[in-house]
């Protein structure tokens, strides 16, 4: 890529300015590629929030808006690198155990050397996930079918310290067919069709990982697949017919960002679930079908009545997506308000609950007199509804409250069927 010094200087001088204003008032200069510069300033400004490590490197090239929107955040990319490190270690331990068994059976101990490890990212994109995971491996191959993204990768990777990364401009399926083997294959199938519309079903994404599953696992003992968080993870696991050994629901800022599947050789009937939200992690073994649904329902415990509780808890986004509410009551001294409320209460503060914690200030039914007493003097509130017959907007109008403030109101249905409003403050 040929970029003039004047263009780089323009980017450095104006990168803190409003791009739209800059586009209107920037002076035209034959030595400055203004459209490119504006794209880079917009990309750098997004990266400051999404990829602060990348934004701290001078000279990186950022892609157009869509690849920037679709690329992983720094947190989710770092999580994948940590996951790859663990999976690589576990694979090596299994291989070592097998080698020791074979050596013992031959009654001759032979010295072994650690094999070279290799990563193949078949859907490189902007290269954020690749840049973090590649550092875990001895060799790393980036594959991307769009030439412009490959050009950006060739420019950026050396600046990020990835001088030996191999960049291949080709189709994922073509590269896979030629591949001998790899330690780990990563895929993030494109979720837009040829018209640019969003797609979510695995079979509608490119490449179709379901169709390639057997070939992928023939080439690598571990395959990591990044999918849309909109997917039903139960159905997705079933679609892969026993190849999924781990499911990772990854959130940051309490917003569900990714569904990660770890595929391995051999059949797994009870995959391990990991619910991640920034620094919070909850892991458990998924039970089969009806048993899982039954355990969720039977975990309801009315030993603590909401009127007697002092604290309320709202699970984080990953746990809400996983639906593992039975695990919460088994691991923490909390009780569900009701089977479908997805809210939890306790008499004593639980500091390590994976979600938000609130101090209960009052509990009221929808009786006008009770509400007037409970909400006396309140003008603003943050309102959420869980298992409640009316919407947030309708309830806000009914209560005549503006949005915001320090009070959090949770409208729900308790174990006796009462429609109640729980007023809280952040604990």
- Residues 224-232 have a mean pLDDT of 94
Mean pLDDT of the chain, nearest integer: 89
- In the chain, what are the domain boundaries? 5-62, 74-94+115-286, 301-426
- Please give the pLDDT value at position 301: 52
Please check the confidence at residue 288 and state whether its pLDDT lies above 60: no
Cα 311 to Cα 359: distance, rounded to the nearest angstrom: 5
Of 418, 399, 420, 400, the C-alpha closest to 410 is: 420
* CATH top-level class of 74-94+115-286: alpha beta
* Tens-digit pLDDT profile for residues 296-340: 444 455 567 898 999 999 999 999 999 999 999 999 999 999 989
- Please give the pLDDT value at position 199: 59
Does an H or E element contain 393, and which? helix 392-399
With cut-offs at 50, 70 and 90, classify the pLDDT of residue 289: very low
Please check the confidence at residue 374 and state whether its pLDDT lies above 70: yes
Pair of tokens at residue 110 = 């032979």
With cut-offs at 50, 70 and 90, classify the pLDDT of residue 126: very high
- Please give the pLDDT value at position 328: 95
* Tens-digit pLDDT profile for residues 64-86: 877 787 789 999 999 999 999 99
- Residues 135-145 have a mean pLDDT of 97
- Please give the pLDDT value at position 68: 81
- Please give the pLDDT value at position 148: 93
- Please give the pLDDT value at position 302: 57
- Residues 257-277 have a mean pLDDT of 96
Bridge partners, residue 380, by sequence: 402
- Please give the pLDDT value at position 110: 46
Whole-prediction pTM value? 0.88
Q: What is the DSSP letter of 382?
A: E
- Please give the pLDDT value at position 357: 97
Contacts of 120 (CB under 8 A, 6+ apart): 140, 141, 143, 175, 179, 182, 184, 185, 186, 220
Residue percentage of the chain with pLDDT more than 70: 89
Q: Which of 41-55, 65-79, 85-99, 201-215 is modeled with the greatest confidence?
A: 41-55
Please check the confidence at residue 294 and state whether its pLDDT lies above 50: no
Question: Between 270 and 201, whose confidence is greater?
Answer: 270
* Tens-digit pLDDT profile for residues 146-197: 999 999 999 999 999 999 999 999 999 999 999 999 999 999 998 765 555 6
- Please give the pLDDT value at position 338: 93
- Please give the pLDDT value at position 305: 87
With cut-offs at 50, 70 and 90, classify the pLDDT of residue 295: very low
Contact 64, 36 (CB under 8 A): no
- Residues 248-258 have a mean pLDDT of 95
Residue percentage of the chain with pLDDT more than 90: 79
Which region among 186-195, 282-291, 401-410 has the lowest average model confidence (pLDDT)?
A: 282-291
Cα 130 to Cα 44: distance, rounded to the nearest angstrom: 19
């Amino acid at each position: 890529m040929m970029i003039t010094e004047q263009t780089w200087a323009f980017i450095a001088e104006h990168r803190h300015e409003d791009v739209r204003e800059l586009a209107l008032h920037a002076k035209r200069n034959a030595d400055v590629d203004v459209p490119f510069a504006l794209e880079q300033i917009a990309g750098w400004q997004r990266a400051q929030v999404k990829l602060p490590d990348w934004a701290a490197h001078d000279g990186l090239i950022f892609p157009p808006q869509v690849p920037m929107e679709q690329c992983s955040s720094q947190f989710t990319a770092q999580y994948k690198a940590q996951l790859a490190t663990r999976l690589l270690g576990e694979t090596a331990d299994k291989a070592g155990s097998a080698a020791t068994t074979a050596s013992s059976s031959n009654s001759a101990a032979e010295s072994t050397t650690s094999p070279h490890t290799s990563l193949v990212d078949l859907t490189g994109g902007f290269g954020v996930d690749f840049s973090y995971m590649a550092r875990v491996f001895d060799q790393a191959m980036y594959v991307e079918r769009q030439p412009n993204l490959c050009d950006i990768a060739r420019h950026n990777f050396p600046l990020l310290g990835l001088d030996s990364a191999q960049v291949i401009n080709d189709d994922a399926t073509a590269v896979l067919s030629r591949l001998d083997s790899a330690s780990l294959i990563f895929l993030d199938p494109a979720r837009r069709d040829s018209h640019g519309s969003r797609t979510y079903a695995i079979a509608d994404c490119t490449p179709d990982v379901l169709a390639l599953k057997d070939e992928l696992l023939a080439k690598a003992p571990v395959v990591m697949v990044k999918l849309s968080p909109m997917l039903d993870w139960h159905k997705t696991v079933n679609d892969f017919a026993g190849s999924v050994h781990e499911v990772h629901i990854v959130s940051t800022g309490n917003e569900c960002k990714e569904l990660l599947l770890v595929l391995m050789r051999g059949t797994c009937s009870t995959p391990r679930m990991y619910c991640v939200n920034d620094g919070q992690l909850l892991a458990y073994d998924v039970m089969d079908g009806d048993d899982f649904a039954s355990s969720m329902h039977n975990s309801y415990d009315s030993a603590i009545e909401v009127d007697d509780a002092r604290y309320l808890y709202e699970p984080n986004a990953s746990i809400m997506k996983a639906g593992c509410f039975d695990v919460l009551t088994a691991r923490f001294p909390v009780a569900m308000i009701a089977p479908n409320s997805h809210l939890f209460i306790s008499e004593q503060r639980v500091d390590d609950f994976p979600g938000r914690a609130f101090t209960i200030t009052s509990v009221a039914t929808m009786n006008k007199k009770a509400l007037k007493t409970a909400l006396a003097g309140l003008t603003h509130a943050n309102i959420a509804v869980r298992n409640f017959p009316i919407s947030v907007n309708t309830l806000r109008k009914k209560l005549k409250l503006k949005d915001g403030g320090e009070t959090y109101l949770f409208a729900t249905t308790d174990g006796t069927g009462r429609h109640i409003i729980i007023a809280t403050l952040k604990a």
